[in-house]
Amino acid sequence: MSRNLLFLAPALLTLGACQQPSNEAPSVPEPVTTVGNYVARVEALGERQRFGVLFRAVRDAGQDCQELTDATATKTTDGRPAWIVTCDARTRWTVVLSNDGTALVTPVSQAR
């Protein structure tokens, strides 16, 4: 019987080395935060790259836009940076970016 125990000893030691469940909560990675001024970074981009950011904002807002054909920098009534963009040479949107990287896309009202 002791001979059988000698053959089982390596297997028992291997099982004992397996990681036991811990009572500690699993570690959760820290959220990634955007460092810096997002609006300033967009303003510093070249025209084509800035068009890309504004195009993505319009598309991510669910608007139909195949090509951004114009973008003009402006300010909102409360002084925040914004752009008036034209999609497909026909629809116009106001894109207001915030420093956390989110965008507010609203239609430009047509004066009649």
- Please tell me the predicted confidence (pLDDT) of residue 21: 55
Average pLDDT by stretches of 10, the chain with 112 residues: 48 52 58 65 93 95 93 90 94 92 86 44
Longest C-alpha distance within the chain, in Å?
100
pLDDT of res. 6: 45
**Sheet containing 81-87, strands listed edge to edge, beginning at the edge strand earlier in sequence:** 68-75, 81-87, 91-97, 103-107
Contacts of 107 (CB under 8 A, 6+ apart): 91, 92, 93, 94
Question: What is the Cα–Cα distance from 43 to 31, expressed in whole angstroms?
Answer: 26
The secondary element (H helix, E strand) that includes residue 50 is helix 47-60
pLDDT of residue 101: 85
Kindly calculate the radius of gyration of the chain based on its CA atoms and give it in whole angstroms.
29
Q: Which residues of 65-77 are buried (b: 16+ CB within 10 A; e: fewer)?
A: beebeebeeeeee
Can you give the pLDDT at residue 17? 52
